[in-house]
Structure 1
């Protein structure tokens, strides 16, 4: 035979392997769901592609040659590897394996995502999930550079290297300890907070500027007792009577422990959060699956009572 050295076809390899396993072309064809002529053609094609004989033909029987026996061991290992690749591909397609990397603000991660994470991992228990928490600009940069698959960011973005889908729209509220005189109100205004110690977040950010502007409109300056950086710490300080915390209403709900109450802050200051991915690529299938687990976007209820 000529040494053609053509690429080996996977179906021909399976036919060759099945013949040696089952002892005949007929049995091999049956195991592969083929007709006997089809299996014979695959064997002949494999010998032509290889350039040497795999079998001696002896009165209708196939007896493997020495070359055929040598090749069989490698074919068996190769087919095992192919089967493992196919199994892995099925696992990936069915989300039985994989990795999802996210980034989220600390308060959003602690207040909004725990239930989502639990549902996601119940549905995809073999997926490895990692979630980082960083400052706003660092998080945006990580998403844009694809250091993570996706993330949660506060809007507006003021950049075009990210694609977003809004997931949370929340009002601003005051967190007060039980028994605080202002707890009797259903809504609290900057005028009500004149001279009241406050716990404030977001120095240098748009939200903080809007709160300070609301005070300025009534001729007041916020009496800031404590500056902090997370909704959790602001709520904890409010519970201990350090000051009234002015925070994102929906995020604050996770930190009410029976020691504090929420009252809507007016004029209304809205917080918007979005699920973001790099604009350079389409989101991964796992990122889309996580997004699908998020609760539907609903307007914040009016806080009272």
Structure 2
């Protein structure tokens, strides 16, 4: 009768697969290389499976080895979810709030919203994670985050979301740009004008590309970036013009000219949180401060357009 599997053997096997070599696995597990090799050998003996091919002194996983790894990884993912739930409970008890924010809002906007929240909760530990919208959505579902600010709607029964600051994109440009003399900017006005754009895979980048293609306007893209603060700084420095959501330019008042753009290109963000969050009190307060910050910035910035 084969012996039951040993957890240490499973950990060694998983570490070798993920790190590529026995030496790296040994470092990660804080044990010797011979110890790792012995654990792997015992695992193969106990399972009756050849999990690795020995090629020039290196271990290469077999097909059976990879099938076993996939199952082990699924089980460890479940364990990580339990760990995340424990962390969420501890956050509630210790007064912690974890917020995920897309890069476009990682500048003045999230700083102002968070500072407003901390003024009423000075003893709360607040962590801001800047990541992609999809990353934030995934971490909300697994309870690694309490709040998320993203650019696209999420169809998930465990996540509650609401639109934040629905408003058309505006045109921003250097203060001394010739187009600043106009009150309204149209697509043809930007034909061949140096233009700063977002990643074409982003929701903002896709909308910008679509509107100009529909008007057969050739954009002269001189810079492409994934973050709004970077884009706005280059506009303020005189590199070119761009189309952005008003929230992107919070903190830029007096540094760039803001003009209405037609036809209107509607855009909003999504303010998200997990359903039945144990951290509900802090979450609701943060959501309220975020809404108020968006409303205030909206009034300030849109008065220029």
CA distance in 2, matches of 1:122, 1:298: 18
- TM-score (normalizing by structure 2): 0.62
Alignment of 1:48-59 (within 5 A): none
Alignment of 1:55-74 (within 5 A): none
**Residue 250 (str. 1) matches residue 247 (str. 2):** yes
What is the Cα-based RMSD across aligned positions, in Å?
2.6
CA distance in 1, matches of 2:199, 2:261: 16
Q: Cα distance 1:159–1:225, how it changes in 2: closer, same or farther (>3 A)?
A: farther
Q: Cα distance 1:290–1:281, how it changes in 2: closer, same or farther (>3 A)?
A: closer
- TM-score (normalizing by structure 1): 0.62
Tell me what 2:138 maps to.
Answer: 141
2:204 to 187, 204, 207: 207
By how many angstroms is 1:263 displaced? 1.2
CA distance in 2, matches of 1:298, 1:284: 22
CA distance in 1, matches of 2:198, 2:97: 30
2:270 to 243, 266, 274: 274
The SS at the match of 2:189 is coil
Alignment of 1:123-138 (within 5 A): 123-138=120-135
The SS at the match of 1:287 is helix
Tell me if the contact between 2:153 and 2:270 (Cα under 8 Å) persists in the aligned partners. no
Tell me what 1:239 maps to.
Answer: 236
4+ long deviations beyond 6 Å: none
Q: How many residues align?
A: 211
Report Cα offsets for 1:233-279 as digits up to 9, x if no partner.
111111222111221122213224x3421112222122212221224
Q: Cα distance 1:293–1:241, how it changes in 2: closer, same or farther (>3 A)?
A: closer
- Greater C-alpha radius of gyration: 1
By how many angstroms is 1:159 displaced? 4.2
By how many angstroms is 1:281 displaced? 4.7
CA distance in 1, matches of 2:196, 2:144: 34
Tell me if the contact between 1:96 and 1:125 (Cα under 8 Å) persists in the aligned partners. no
Tell me what 1:181 maps to.
Answer: 178
**Residue 162 (str. 1) matches residue 155 (str. 2):** no
Report Cα offsets for 1:66-91 as digits up to 9, x if no partner.
xxxxxxxxxxxxxxxxxxxxxxxxxx
Structure 1 unmatched ranges of 5 or more: 1-91
Instruction: Write 1 or 2 for the structure with the bigger share of helix.
Output: 2
Tell me what 1:289 maps to.
Answer: 285
